[in-house]
Amino acid sequence: MEASKVIHAIYTDDDVLMSAVKTVKAEKHHIEEIYTPFPVHGLDRAMGLAPTRLAITAFLYGCVGISVATLMMNFIMIEDWPQDIGGKPSFSYLENMPAFVPIMFELTVFFAAHLMVITFYLRSRMWPFKKAENPDPRTTDDHFLMEIAVHNNEESLTNLLKDTGAVEINIVDKDEDAH
């Protein structure tokens, strides 16, 4: 089946890769995926990917953290077991709020950081014991791989990728490549 074939174009420089992505997108080819050993600034924009909404979730997780901190401190220090610490009576939460600010800050950061890591792993479908989907181990070291679907245009696409500076071009059956 022709639709399951992809071309793997390998590059050795991130600037050449960026230029190649722009050229391939200008020729109206769909790039399935790009594997890089480190984040390449502007690559998501060059590929035409939608902006991430992870920052919104970070804000929401921070709001959950500060809410938990406020409710927790109000219950523990004001309602359940009020104590006179350093001559400051615990009559209301607002009177003692300046002393609670560090705890509120720390729990906001704690919730945002931990829940963002979990969200990132779930969104990326990276869970424990999952096999790697990396088609070429060199992309974890110093190579960049662009994966493009083939639709009866192998020769023209191969020539285009050679012109963009690809050091290696492989046509792979994606069904067999799935580890």
Domain boundaries, the chain: 2-51+142-177, 54-123
**Cα–Cα distance measured from residue 106 to residue 161, given in angstroms and rounded to the nearest whole number:** 50
Q: Tally Cβ neighbours within 10 Å of residue 93.
A: 16
- Taking only the tens place, the pLDDT of each residue in 17-40 is 999 999 999 998 899 999 999 999
Contact yes or no for 155/5 (Cβ under 8 A) = no
Range with the largest mean pLDDT of 68-72, 123-127, 131-135: 68-72
- Indicate the pLDDT class of residue 77, thresholds 50, 70 and 90: confident
Q: At what angle do helices 54-73 and 93-123 cross, to 10 degrees?
A: 140
d(CA 68, CA 66) in angstroms, rounded, equals 5
Percent of the chain with pLDDT over 70: 96
Residue that the structure tokens 């409710």 belong to? 71
Residues in the chain: 179
Tell me which of 2.102.10.10, 3.30.70.120, 3.40.50.720, 3.40.640.10 is the CATH number of domain 2-51+142-177.
Answer: 3.30.70.120
